[in-house]
Amino acid sequence: MSERSHPELPELPYDYDALEPHISEQVLEWHHDTHHQGYVNGLDSAEEALAEARETGETHGTQAALRSVSHNGSGHYLHTMFWDNMSPNGGGEPEGALRERIEEDFGSYEAWRQEFEEAAGYSAGGWALLVYDPVAKQLRNLAVQKHNDGALWGAHPILALDVWEHSYYFDYGPARGEFVDAFFEVIDWDDVAENFEKVSSRVE
């Protein structure tokens, strides 16, 4: 059996205070260093448990480990995208092929944003995601609870907004909508467009 690689917490692509005043330095530090690290640790522990079970044949903890891989792995991957989807030079609106595709699949940018904001208000802890569905060959919004409940098999996220309370409550209290508005001020549309190009080019 090959040696297992361990998941690692990625560095932020900008300084902790780079997204102020939209997201505070304190929230970014807590969110990245504590919460995201927790999902990395949880994924690593689950994979370690599965590796040990495969080696020893003792599978009494396998079901819990499998659930943990899904939960913590999804949390790790979505948080990684969330950091990359933002930039101190972000904001504005998408352009080019991504803009055209949003207008084609949702009718207009405004209609897409309204639906995305509804997804962001869906659950107390979860994500609003813009994904590319390679089966239907279209963009979709998803409202995902926790990290994986409400996901669509085969769909590829290209824009991820974390709406767990730890992502905004220190800055905005219960006013989640204000946080969502602030997120739009820092979206790195170049990164989202690059994600779209990567996943759509595989099937179109």
68, 47 contact by CB (below 8 A)? no
Residue 166 among known ligand-binding residues: yes
Contact 87, 186 (CB under 8 A): yes
Known binding residue 71? Answer is: no
Q: How far apart (Å, rounded) are the C-alpha atoms in residues 19 and 183? A: 9
Name every residue whose Cβ is closer than 8 Å to that of residue 162 and which is 6 or more positions away in sequence.
Answer: 31, 78, 79, 82, 127
DSSP 86: B
Note every long-range contact of 119-127, with CB atoms under 8 Å and residues 24 or more positions apart, other chains counting.
119/143, 120/161, 120/163, 120/176, 120/180, 121/163, 121/176, 121/177, 121/180, 123/163, 124/165, 125/163, 125/164, 125/165, 126/150, 126/163, 126/164, 127/78, 127/160, 127/161, 127/162, 127/163
The annotation status of 31 as a binding-site residue, yes or no, is yes
Contacts of 59 (CB under 8 A, 6+ apart): 53
35 is in an annotated binding site: no
Q: Which residues are annotated as a binding site?
A: 31, 79, 162, 166
Q: Binding site for Mn(2+): which residues?
A: 31, 79, 162, 166
